[in-house]
Amino acid sequence: MTNREIILGRIREALKITAPHPAFHDGPVTAPPLPASPQKWLPPVGGTLEEQIELFRRNAEDLKAGFRECTNVNEAGQYVKTLALAGGWKKIGLHSGDWTDPVARELGLPEVRTDGGYAVNDLESCDAGLTECEALVAQTGSVLVSAPGAGGRALSVLPPHHVVLARRSQMVPDLTAALQRVQEKFKDKFPSFLSFISGPSRTGDIERILVLGAHGPKKLTILLLP
Amino acid sequence: MNAHAREFNEAARQQTADLGQRDWIQKALAGYYAKRDEFKNRFSNWQGARDTAAAVKWEAVNHLDRYLDEFASRLEARGAKVFWAPGAQEARDYIVGVARQHKVRAIIKSKSMTAEEIHLNDALEQAGFEVVESDLGEYIVQLRQEPPYHLVFPAMHLRRQQISDLFHDRLGSERTNNPEDLTMIARRVMRRKYCEADMGISGANFAIAETGMISITENEGNARLTTSLPKVHVAIVGIEKVLPRLSDLALFLPMLATAGAGQPITCYNTLYGGPRQPGEPDGPGEFHVVLLDNRRTELLADAEQRDALHCIRCGACLNVCPIFKNVGGHSYGTTYQGPIGSVITPHLRGLQDWKHLSQASSLCGACTETCPVKINLHHHLLHNRRNAIHARPARLEKLVQTGFVFMMRRPRLYEWGARVGRILQPLQRLVRGTILDPLRAWTKTRSFPPLAEKSFRELWRERKKP
């Protein structure tokens, strides 16, 4: 017998006695179907895109992330340039993309591109990581990134400043909608990595005092493009 | 009384007398209460969310065979290696084997209570591997060579000066009382470790059956780095971590953050569904998932307490428990502290050895009330008490009870006993607290109320007299 069979056998044996369902105290009853979306219990989100953008802005601010709407990619490039000057960036990490390419051209800094693999120390010495994303979640102020859509796993966590370039059509109301979006996009071909990023890296492990930039980025900036 | 119970009593006695430390823990938790309530109130309906979360976990745990099989098959289809570990030894041996096979030099690890449960670090170190904890709190307690104080806040018992001294002694850093500077010291040390490590070990908060993924919740980014840069990733997952559908995370991620840390959402909630896939720029070439039973199936077989496997390890029950707040996390001597630890440890490590934890409760029910997945915690403590006494009746207690029943059934004997008691009580006062005191077990920490001068029956008889 394999370990798999041993454990599954133990489980099947254990489950021969049914446990009462939490909704019914008087013994086992057929369980009610699970709700398709838990939205009615979760924090409310407005129905229009403008309301969602506004909620995302408030949440991002609470999470100490930067958020800015840009009318076009040039404006985004200009804004990232001010960040680069203020932060004294000497080198940036990025992946090739519709938005990342023009913004990187605007910056004109030495680049580490992660597309075809990279040297870890090379990426580690970058001052910022420039990525795109899968979705923005209004309800939580989160950015959803994936390995194929954001230059892999490390680009969005290793450099000390993470800059996200997103489009308005990527704004979704809640986590359910964000997860549904990736399920529809990838179907059975899921990437090995998906992450909801909610603000810059943080810790409260010393006296429960909030410190930003524990291991990941100290700063997170999200730019919303048309 | 067994050795574990004696150790618990001794540690608890010392901790409860340490008023400074108790104040410290209360103060650390005060901020959590405020934030937890703030974000609970942002939910449209927190109680409705708890009901739904309990129903989802019930569905998962009561069809565990089906969901686990689905989870493992989907992961394997994407190239992950799934190892089913019946016990702690098999899990340790497997992970040490993976490290040997890849001839790893350095291992980086993110926080995992399941790894603590099987003492994984000890096993790897004995086999000659260096393991570094990357979560800041875990790193601090690792340097101090002590277990985590709390499921979620491993170093909550320490003051910044202690951490500064520790870093000074162990890392040679300058002393500082600034938490940010202390965090940056650890950040610099850890950056080197991430780049050098060739194996990363993590836990998992949820295992998604529908898509074959593990979900890891963290704030620091250490788990993301642990699982991005090394060439091998091993995740250790308790079999009860399963959720049926990907969309269930939409409920569980905000609830875990709110109940566990008083946050609306945790900074990083990451899904891992395999090793690096074709076309992906980075990620480990090998991804191992170790599914750990380690007597969880015994708890599963106890239908009455099966819901204890719904636990998502948020630590909310510890934070509200009057016992935890007074005896602290280390007194328990268990991997899982607080009410949930007191409920499950007797199942995972032996009822008779750990039954004393069932008494470490005021049965106030604060744990049950706060639990985001509605585990009936304080009733399970009573169930454990009952089961322990059924399995091994306490003879002396039984004798005392028999004597008590004998006396209570004979009114004259009772009356005579009360009269003798009234005569003897002043004598007891002379020896109170000494070894001669027959009531010592009671009077050590409490006063014994004086018996009334006359019983009700005596007063009644006197009144009826003409």
Say yes or no: B75 contacts chain A, CB-CB below 8 A.
no
CA-wise closest residue to B313 among B72, B151, B114, B139:
B151
Beta bridge partners of A223: A68, A165
Mutating which of B195, B220, B241 best tests the A interface, going by the most A Cβ atoms within 10 A?
Answer: B220
Owning domain of residue B411: 396-464
**What's the pTM value of the predicted model, to 2 decimals?**
0.93
Radius of gyration, alpha carbons of chain A: 22
On chain B, the residues whose CB falls within 8 A of the CB of A176 are 247, 250
The answer to whether position B344 is within a domain reads no
Tell me the ipTM for this assembly: 0.96
Is residue B129 one of the residues assigned to a domain? yes
- The per-residue pLDDT for range B29-49, each reduced to its tens digit, is 999 999 999 999 999 999 999
Residue B135 forms part of a structural domain: yes
Q: Tell whether B366 is covered by a domain.
A: no
Of B246, B269, B294, the domain-final residue: B294
The answer to whether residue A76 is domain-embedded is yes
Q: Are strands B130-133 and B106-109 parallel, antiparallel or unpaired?
A: parallel
Written as one letter, the residue type at B338 is G
In chain B, the number of structural domains is 2
A101-137 per-position pLDDT tens digit = 999 999 999 999 999 999 999 999 999 999 999 999 9
Shortest CA gap A80–chain B (Å)? 23
Q: Is residue B47 part of a domain?
A: yes
B230 vs B456 pLDDT, higher one = B230
Does B307 contact A19 at a Cβ distance shorter than 8 Å? yes
Q: For residue B106, is it within any domain?
A: yes
Put the strands of the sheet holding A193-197 in their side by side order: A171-172, A135-137, A142-146, A193-197, B268-272, B213-218, B206-208, B242-243
Of the CA atoms within 13 Å of residue B233, those in its CB half-sphere come to 31
Write out pLDDT tens, residues B236-294.
999 999 999 999 999 999 999 999 999 999 999 999 999 999 999 999 999 999 999 99
For residue A112, being part of any structural domain is answered with: yes
State the Cα angle at A135 between A159 and A93, rounded to 5°.
Answer: 20
Burial label, B458 (beta-carbon count in 10 A; 0-12, 13-18, 19+): middle
Residues B135, B216: contact at Cβ < 8 Å?
no
pLDDT exceeds cutoff 60 at A27: no
In a domain, A181, yes or no: yes
Task: State the CATH number of the domain containing residue B246.
Answer: 3.40.50.10420
| Domain annotation covers residue B178 | yes
Residues 69-88 of A with CB under 8 A from B: none
Return the number of other C-beta atoms located less than 10 Å from residue B329's C-beta: 24
- Contact call for residues B212 and B273 (beta carbons, < 8 A): yes
**Backbone phi, then psi, for A92, in 5-degree steps?**
-125, 150
B308 interfacial to chain A (CB closer than 8 Å): no
Q: What percent of chain B has pLDDT over 70?
A: 100
Query: What pLDDT digit, counting tens, does each position of B406-419 carry?
Result: 999 998 998 888 88
